[in-house]
Structure 1
Amino acid sequence: HERVHGVYVDTGFMRKNESADVMAAYEKAGFRNVRLRDASTEFLAAVGSETNPEIKRKRIGAAFLAVENDVLEHLPRGEWLLGQGTIYPDTIESGGTRESALIKTHHNRVPELLVRIEAGEIVEPLVQFYKDEVREIGRALGLPSRLIEKQPFPGPGLAVRFLCTDEPAAWSENSQLSQVASGFNLKARVLPVRGVGVQGDERTYAHTALVTGDYDERRIAELSPAITNSLRDVNRVVFWAGSKGSIDEFHVEPTTTSREGLDVLREADARVRDILAEYDTQKRIWQCPVVMLPLKRHGESTIAIRPVESHDGMTAQYSRLPWPVIERITSAVLQVPGVGALLYDVTNKPPATIEWE
């Protein structure tokens, strides 16, 4: 313990109460050399008004490096090793294996850190393991189950769940999409928001189909792949769960990352997690990203929930939630000031990645 020093970096992109929970967990485990560094101002400044998800990730990676370098400067060179919790899927999605293409850059795989790895300054004890295997290691080490069972959370945090755009955009109708949806007695239109997907080992960046109508679990489950299989420029399907106004009052507006917006997303995320924890007693949900979209009405944003079930995160099925649970989540999230609508992501991986960005 004495030779292990930790600096917990609060990027400002963390979930509600996350920093306090993490620090309390280290203290309980007996670590005395862990301190908190509030770097939220630096990270927000690093992302700035950037809207491109891949550039956002790289800027956040660079901000991590700046804080890291600042910490390491105070230690004698050659007398430290840096520990990273990189796991195997991170290296695959960053295009770091011979067979893999770049899907998204993980912050622990930016070029500057690769130089440190080659110089032997970084130790990555988990780099050959998938998430389920990492959990087994945690159990073998006797770590508390509430830490082991925590849902995966991206390094860049809520910043990559806060979708931004430079351009306003209007809804668009697509006759082929409408035709596929009408076969299931539902309606669909193209949501003017794009997200990351994966096809084979390749990255896609395509539009989202928005489905409206009466919720029927089986029909939605059949419609979702029918849409992505028949429309090349759609890699994600969402269901309109509820809103404060008519769907036609919502428009995509230019949006950049802001502290106020992050606070809205943080509160919505906390409410979703609380309800799902109560519902999902069997721990079937592997992860549920809660995403904020620049689809707005009277300045209020749209929230999308993305509950998925998976074994290792490389492939995933969306969690088929019963309507009363969706209703409960919709009601709770629409009570958050700054939220105007709730969408339910009903896409498997592939074709859509678990995270939207």
Structure 2
Amino acid sequence: CADRNLYGVQFHPEVDLSPDGTAMFKNFLYGICELSGSYSMGCRQDLAINMIREKVAEKKVLVLVSGGVDSSVCAALLHKAIGPERIIALHIDHGFMRHEESSGVVNALQAIGLPIKVLNGTEEFAQATTDVNGTMTAKLCETVSPEAKRKIIGDTFMRATQKVAEELGLKADNLYLAQGTLRPDLIESASAMVSSNAAVIKTHHNDTQLVRQLRDEGRILEPLCEYHKDEVRELGIALGLPEHLVWRQPFPGPGLAIRILCADEPYVTDDFDTVAQNLRSVCADCSPLPVSPILLPVRTVGVQGDGRSYAYLAALTLPSDPSGSWEGLLQLAKQIPGKVHQVNRVVFMLGAAVSDCPKAITPTRLTPEPIEQLRKADHVVNQVLAKYDLLRSLSQVPVTLFPVGFDVPGGRCVGIRAFITRDFMTGTPALPGKDIPLEALEEMRKGVLAIPGVVRVALDISPKPPATTEWE
């Protein structure tokens, strides 16, 4: 309030990027409030189990298991709370799963005594549409908008679930729908459960308008909605889930569908050349490295000013081996979005330097060829992560396919985001040579380039914020 000379400063001590944030909370809770710190994950588990039993009573629960850590822990928690007799675990294969993903999740849950039903919905999802603000979308296989893709997938999940419930003779008044929604999911999708005025960063497939309607009707059960990823993993271990499942790389519910940047035409605004020149000037002024920066004709999702941005992807290249330059490259990538506001994400293109900004793309939609390219690339990267024992130290390593071919007809690039975070709200890129061995990075590059149609490999070196973990 300027009239009264009252001002406030907002910051987030709860995220890992805030220096001494944990110490601030500790001083406040223990030093000022004189709390004892006796509350434990066991207490939270007991509370969650009691909540489930009280809310569900004698009804049945249909739990959606996507294959990721969150939904698997949710299913295990329900299993402990009410037993397998009243749980129907459902895994829907929408056609965007990772290599052998569906069989892996089935085996893991069956091992703890929870039977799981698998529905192959590949064709149903490809042809699906949905209503967005009164307008029907195109089919999913023809859609390029990131938000539309998420909403189609989320709503189709719900419709497919309803169909299965009807086939099994489950009645709505005797059934709850459970899913592994976490608190960051609700924050980023601006759910009223966590805030009345937050900006939407991205729509989560498990927090669509249809899900919110079911939630308002009291038909959604989300026992993990107050948890963050590190807490979910701790809970998973306590529930007896195998470590290989609990510590597997996080995978979004929509799967590979939101890791393929779809576009029919290049993203080239009227100020493209001006932005590209500004990018070159900023790099020259801010770094002694002989970088050759280029602006790419695609957009990615980011967070700038506490709101969602949908801006250019920038790439850095070097004329020589980057082995001794990674710290400088990461520092430059951190500075660029603050000085070139039309950019929200920066990658380093592994391989030969590039001097000219490409202005063409390979038209890309959710069709079999790009889906299979990304599935193979993701498998290559995860095999290398396992070989070098990086699955725990690297919090998340999304692999993305984007439609820039660098003058190769039909060519596309693969982006690898080796990311370190504990709270999954903020984070830093892994530093090659320290957080990820250079040999591992080279194995990833060679393995991915062996996939037909993939012409370059890029390492995402952006912090979060301004770049979100996922590109879409």
Give the TM-score normalised by the residue count of structure 1.
0.94
Counterpart in 1 of 2:106?
Answer: 23
Counterpart in 1 of 2:366?
Answer: 257
Instruction: Write out aligned runs for 1:124-135 (5 A).
Output: 124-135=222-233
CA offsets per residue over residues 3-42 of structure 1, 9 Å max, x none?
Answer: 111121001111000001011112211123x111000111
Counting matched residue pairs gives 356
SS in 2 for 1:5: strand
Any conservation in 1 of the 2:397–2:419 contact (CA below 8 Å)?
yes
Matched, 1:189 2:189: no
**1:249 to 1:199, Cα distance in 2 relative to 1, 3 A:** closer
Counterpart in 1 of 2:145?
Answer: 52
SS in 2 for 1:113: helix
Match of 1:308 among 414, 419, 422: 419
Which residue type is aligned with residue 42 of structure 1?
E
CA offsets per residue over residues 117-165 of structure 1, 9 Å max, x none?
Answer: 1222111100011111111111221211111112221111100001111
CA offsets per residue over residues 303-357 of structure 1, 9 Å max, x none?
Answer: 0001100001100101112333322211110011221110110000000000000
The CA distance in 2 between the partners of 1:344 and 1:294, in whole Å, is: 15
**1:308 to 1:218, Cα distance in 2 relative to 1, 3 A:** same
Any conservation in 2 of the 1:292–1:304 contact (CA below 8 Å)?
yes
Any conservation in 2 of the 1:86–1:127 contact (CA below 8 Å)?
yes
The CA distance in 1 between the partners of 2:355 and 2:120, in whole Å, is: 40
Task: Give the structure with the higher percent strand.
Answer: 1
Counterpart in 1 of 2:468?
Answer: 353
Match of 1:12 among 95, 101, 104: 95
The CA distance in 2 between the partners of 1:45 and 1:120, in whole Å, is: 30
SS in 2 for 1:288: coil
The CA distance in 2 between the partners of 1:26 and 1:197, in whole Å, is: 35
CA offsets per residue over residues 148-183 of structure 1, 9 Å max, x none?
Answer: 112221111100001111214578572221122233
Task: Note the aligned Cα RMSD (angstroms).
Answer: 2.0
CA offsets per residue over residues 201-249 of structure 1, 9 Å max, x none?
Answer: 2111110111010311111112111211210100000111137x99878
The structure with higher relative contact order (CA 8 Å, sep 6+) is 1
Give the TM-score normalised by the residue count of structure 2.
0.72
Instruction: State the 1:62 CA deviation.
Output: 1.5
**1:282 to 1:205, Cα distance in 2 relative to 1, 3 A:** closer
Instruction: State the 1:77 CA deviation.
Output: 3.0
Instruction: Write out aligned runs for 1:26-45 (5 A).
Output: 26-32=109-115, 34-45=116-127
Which residue type is aligned with residue 278 of structure 1?
K
SS in 1 for 2:451: coil
Which residue type is aligned with residue 421 of structure 2?
S
The CA distance in 1 between the partners of 2:370 and 2:242, in whole Å, is: 33
After TM superposition, the structure 1 stretch with the greater mean CA deviation from structure 2, 301-310 or 291-300, is 291-300
Percent same amino acid among aligned pairs? 39
Counterpart in 2 of 1:221?
Answer: 330
Instruction: Write out aligned runs for 1:66-85 (5 A).
Output: 66-73=159-166, 74-85=169-180
Which residue type is aligned with residue 157 of structure 2?
F
Runs of at least 4 residues off by over 6 Å: 245-250
Which residue type is aligned with residue 333 of structure 1?
V
The CA distance in 1 between the partners of 2:182 and 2:358, in whole Å, is: 43
**1:169 to 1:108, Cα distance in 2 relative to 1, 3 A:** closer
Any conservation in 2 of the 1:241–1:326 contact (CA below 8 Å)?
no
Which residue type is aligned with residue 123 of structure 2?
T
The CA distance in 2 between the partners of 1:336 and 1:318, in whole Å, is: 25
Any conservation in 1 of the 2:373–2:451 contact (CA below 8 Å)?
yes
The CA distance in 2 between the partners of 1:20 and 1:117, in whole Å, is: 30
Counterpart in 1 of 2:5?
Answer: none
After TM superposition, the structure 1 stretch with the greater mean CA deviation from structure 2, 182-191 or 330-339, is 182-191
Which of these two proteins has the greater Rg computed from alpha carbons?
A: 2
Q: Where do 5+ consecutive residues of structure 1 fail to align?
A: none
Counterpart in 1 of 2:23?
Answer: none
Instruction: Write out aligned runs for 1:322-333 (5 A).
Output: 322=433, 323-333=438-448
SS in 2 for 1:205: strand
Instruction: State the 1:254 CA deviation.
Output: 2.1
After TM superposition, the structure 1 stretch with the greater mean CA deviation from structure 2, 37-46 or 344-353, is 37-46
Counterpart in 2 of 1:199?
Answer: 304
Counterpart in 2 of 1:283?
Answer: 392
The CA distance in 2 between the partners of 1:194 and 1:248, in whole Å, is: 14
